[in-house]
Amino acid sequence: MANEYPVEIDGTTGEVEPIPHQKGQRYRCKLDTLQDVRREMAKVYREARSEMIDPATASKLVWCLQAVGKVIEGSDLEKRVEALEAKQ
């Protein structure tokens, strides 16, 4: 059985109590290049396959990562066009 949250065992009763995720703790990962985005998508996929995260949550995260990838791609194209225009 996979727990969604870490657990704490009560020293007196021996009962397992879930420790909810601490709001305000920011997840950090590098997303500066398409390679970084690809790596993070693969991580999300592996976590979903391992049942560490809910597939619906994984789907939402991958959708967001795709949007980040499109922005990076557009930014790279914009830089290339500017460089070509500067040469002319």
Q: Scanning the structure block, which residue is given the tokens 């999300």? A: 44
pLDDT score for 1: 47
- Is residue 9 in some structural domain? no
**What's the total number of domains in the chain?**
1
Residue 42's nearest CA partner among 72, 63, 62 is: 62
Residues spanned by the domain of 52: 27-87
Q: CA quadruple 30, 35, 40, 43: dihedral positive or negative?
A: negative
pLDDT score for 14: 77
Given pLDDT bands bounded at 50, 70 and 90, which one contains residue 77? very high
The tokens of 37 are what?
Answer: 């985005």
The tokens of 81 are what?
Answer: 């066009």
Given pLDDT bands bounded at 50, 70 and 90, which one contains residue 21? low
- Is residue 47 in some structural domain? yes
- What is the C-alpha to C-alpha distance for residues 31 and 75, in angstroms, rounded to an integer? 13
- Is residue 19 in some structural domain? no
User: Which residue type is seen at 39?
Assistant: R
Cβ within 8 Å of residue 31, ≥6 positions away: 37, 40, 65, 68, 72
State pTM to two decimals.
Answer: 0.67
